[in-house]
Amino acid sequence: MAQMTMIQAITDALRTELRNDPNVLVFGEDVGVNGGVFRATEGLQKEFGEERVFDTPLAESGIGGLAIGLALQGYRPAMEIQFFGFVYEVMDAISGQMARMRYRSGGTYTSPITIRSPFGGGVHTPEMHADSLEGLMAQQPGVKVVIPSTPYDAKGLLISSIRDNDPVIFLEHMKLYRSFRQEVPEEEYSIPLGKAEVKRQGSDLTIITYGAMVHESLKAAEELEKEGHSVEVIDLRTIMPLDIETIVASVEKTGRAIVVQEAQRQAGIAAQVIAEINERAILSLEAPVLRVAAPDTVFPFSQAESVWLPNFKDVIETAKKVLKF
Amino acid sequence: MASKTKKTLADAVKQLEKVQDQFETLQILNEEGEIINEAAMPEMSDEQLQELMKRMVYTRILDQRSISLNRQGRLGFYAPTAGQEASQLASQFALEKEDFILPGYRDVPQIIWHGLPLYQAFLFSRGHFKGNQIPEGVNVISPQIIIGAQYIQAAGVALGMKKRGKKSVAITYTGDGGASQGDFYEGINFAGAFKAPAIFIVQNNRFAISTPVEKQSAAKTIAQKAVAAGIPGVQVDGMDPLAVYAAVKDARERAVNGEGPTLIETLTYRYGPHTMAGDDPTRYRTSDLDNEWEKKDPLVRFRKFLEKKGIWSEEVENDVIEKAKDDIKEAIKKADETPKQKVTDLMEIMYEEMPNHLQEQYEIYKEKESK
């Protein structure tokens, strides 16, 4: 075991898979000698060489095409999009191409590609760096979308993502990169995709969340506990596919739920979670399932982040509405 | 200062003219079937020459029959190929089995001659997943509908081959309109930066649906777009099978020798509409232009050339035509006999392991299908 930040756990997972499988290739803008703009690939080119870890020209679409073509030659690409706001440049390669490769070829070809990309607010980035666009990806049949919130989860989920034989979008929240350390095993381990985790047990209310909002929700749960409310917090970890079983079991136990996301109310994945609960557990509900989400505006100018981004106070407020419904 | 600026611009105009001069059209066989460029003549045996002609005739028949089958409702999506036989088939003829083809939607003939069974090509046209289940060892992918996507993917396939140490190339095709896409540029630029063994072909048939090539770009040739990627560009007479073959053969040799990619523009023409989905070329093309290009027909000039060599006759051609018709009949029959698609089939080919939500839907459809 070692104390690792999330970024160190990610590097560790990449190193593990580069060692395990000679077909794993890591590439993107400035991921080579520079070690990545966030140091996620630090030291990897030195250890594995330019054949395995390499820089590309500055063109996201080309990087996506490169990954698809390399996969057609039997490689296992782990490509990076520098910031997920730049995904629009590579939407066709992801949603139009790699997500459909297995299906359109009737299983002849596959895209065992992992797309790593940072996102998320709270660190005053310039425009189009922090947007939460996971909702776009989750609507595309053929991909899986993974969003870890802890160093431990990040390593296990990234190893699983790279080993998955279908495309996985692995979104890394920038605020969580170095915000805390956690015990992470040095040896390899994996966490199954599509499995949520109950991060805190409770009996009065279920909070379903992911990404940076996991920590806001845990903080809110602690505050609510002081007022006598027992709150369960579910970290989805994979937002596509959803772990319906874990969500429904919790809601059936607590009878009340809220869904917390950083994305705008019209975006993200919260609406999908609520629809699933409504279809499967309405008879258990003591109150409607409410959402904590950002306002339906463009991601804020950096100085406005603090008033715009949802935080634990919003979670407490919405939780109370549901508890007192 | 002012005069210096003026001079700089004057130089830039001169530079443009100079660039264009570097992309003269490579032609070997003229419209009369005469060799006009002996030096560029590729080494081909009589058998190879005959085989290429056979494939071109066969493919012309395939086009005629496909149009007719489409009109009868026995085929679906179809993009006519008549006129482009030299461009499509002489380029494929220069490849080896281990080369990987990333075709556009009009490039079905190339993947058929690379090994895709004809009935599967018909299933592709109709919209059946079994049409895209490429047989083991046939290095092609199904026709790409997103114009330009095949270019960036070709850069990746080529880099993969280079990393594997293979002596093979990735070859991909787009049209004149496709050269305006971002992925067109990114594809050739990536392949250039990685010195990857890729051959990029632009089949310039002068029209992207109704839009003439002059409205795509102010560039006088598409071949010169290679300059932006720092790779060689060649413009060839795309109605001349020998010129197309020679250009692709050269590009292949450069590529497998580790010298990087090449962009080849073939000047060609489609005699038919853009697709069979209601496009009417008389709205945007004059009959004069059609007539002018019909004189350039690749079959006519190649036939003359082979006849003069004494290695082609009407009988041989008729045999090819009959063979094509028989094959097509049989392939359509085989396509008809292919079981209909079920929703559960489509679910099974989404992921290696079906996620829970799909599993749930699978059970629902399984139940529906059992009734």
Cα–Cα distances (Å) from A255 to A14, A192, A325, in that order, read 41, 27, 12
pLDDT-based confidence at B8, cuts 50/70/90? confident
Scanning B310-369 for CB atoms below 8 A from A yields 346, 348-352, 355-358
Reported ipTM: the value is: 0.97
Name the minimum distance, in Å, from the CA of A258 to any CA of chain B: 21
Q: Dihedral through CA A65, CA B191, CA B21, CA B107, nearest 10?
A: -50
pLDDT at B12: 85
**Catalytic residue list contains A129:** yes
Can you list the residues of chain A whose pLDDT is less than 50? none
Provide the mean pLDDT of chain B.
96
- Mean local confidence (pLDDT), B218-243: 98
A140 vs B229: CA distance, rounded Å: 33
Instruction: Write the CA distances from B122 to B42, B247, B308, integer angstroms.
Output: 33, 30, 36
* Nearest residue of chain B to residue A74 (CA atoms): B160
State percent of chain A over pLDDT 70. Answer: 100
pLDDT beyond 80 at B7:
no
- pLDDT band for position B251 (cuts 50, 70, 90): very high
Beta-carbon pairs below 8 A across chains A and B:
133
Interface of B with A in 134-153 (CB under 8 A): 134, 141-142, 146, 149, 151-153
**Averaged pLDDT for residues B329-334:** 98
Nearest partner of B54 among B329, B306, B332, B331, judged by Cα: B306
User: Which helix (H) or strand (E) covers residue B171, if one does?
Assistant: strand B170-175
Two tokens at B245? 């073959």
Q: Do A65 and B149 touch (CB under 8 A)?
A: yes
pLDDT tens for A51-60 read 999 999 999 9
Give per-residue burial for A19-55: e unless 16+ CB within 10 Å, then b.
eeeebbbbbbbebbeebbebbbbbebbeebeeebbbb
User: Hey, what amino acid is at B108?
Assistant: V
Check CB contact under 8 Å for A64 and B160.
no
What letter does residue A85 receive in the DSSP assignment? G
Does the distance separating the beta carbons of B142 and A166 come in below 8 Å?
A: no
Structure tokens at B304: 């003359």
Question: B132 and A105: CB-CB below 8 Å?
Answer: yes
Among candidate residues A123, A60, A50, the one with its CA nearest the CA of residue A87: A60
- For residue B13, what pLDDT is reported? 86
Mean pLDDT calculated for residue range B174-182: 98
- B21 against A189, higher pLDDT: A189
Please report how the helices B46-71 and B118-126 are oriented relative to each other, as an axis angle in degrees rounded to 10.
30
- Of the pLDDT bands very low, low, confident and very high (cuts 50, 70, 90), residue B3 is low
A67 touches chain B (CB under 8 A): yes
Helical packing angle, B241-256 and B46-71, nearest 10°: 110
DSSP B256: H
Question: Contact at 8 Å (CB) between A172 and A123?
Answer: no
Residue B1 has pLDDT above 60, yes or no: no
Q: What is the dihedral of CA B133, B138, B143, B147, to 10 degrees?
A: 130
Residue B104 DSSP one-character state: B
Contact flag B129-A70 (C-beta cutoff 8 Å): no
Note whether A165 contacts B: Cβ–Cβ < 8 A: yes
Mean pLDDT score across all residues of chain A: 98
Contacts of A62 in chain B (CB under 8 A): 152, 155, 183, 186-187, 189-190
Mutate which: A56, A61, A76, vs B, most B CBs within 10 A? A61
Distance CA A104, CA B112 (A): 18
pLDDT of amino acid B4: 64
| Listed residue (B15, B13, B86) closest to B238, CA to CA | B86
What is the pTM assigned to this prediction?
Answer: 0.97
Q: Does A69 touch chain B (CB under 8 A)?
A: yes
Q: Which of B192, B202, B89, B114 is nearest to B150 (CA)?
A: B202
Distance of alpha carbon A191 from alpha carbon A236, whole angstroms: 12
The confidence score (pLDDT) of residue B2 equals: 54
Residue at A253: amino acid letter: K
- Say whether residue A78 is in contact with chain B using an 8 A CB cutoff: no
Beta bridge partners of A116: A80, A170
Nearest of A81, A234, A237 to residue A153 by alpha carbon: A237
Q: Does the pLDDT of residue B216 top 80, yes or no? A: yes
Kindly state the average pLDDT of the residues B87-99.
Answer: 98
A118/A154 Cα distance (integer angstroms): 12
Subunit contact A69:B129, Cβ cutoff 8 A: no
CB contact under 8 A, A65 and B151: yes
Residue of A27, A73, A143 to mutate when probing chain B, most B C-beta within 10 A = A73
Interstrand relation of A257-264 and A290-294 (parallel, antiparallel or unpaired): parallel
Query: Looking at B274, B285, B301, B303, which residue is catalytic?
Result: B274
* In contact, B300 and B31? CB cutoff 8 Å: yes
Q: Is the pLDDT of residue B322 over 60?
A: yes
Among partner residues A66, A103, A245, which is closest to B155 by beta-carbon distance? A66
Residue of B116, B344, B351 for testing the chain A interface, max A β-carbons within 10 Å? B351
- Cβ contacts of B161 on chain A, cutoff 8 Å: 73
- Whether A169 contacts A115, CB under 8 Å: yes
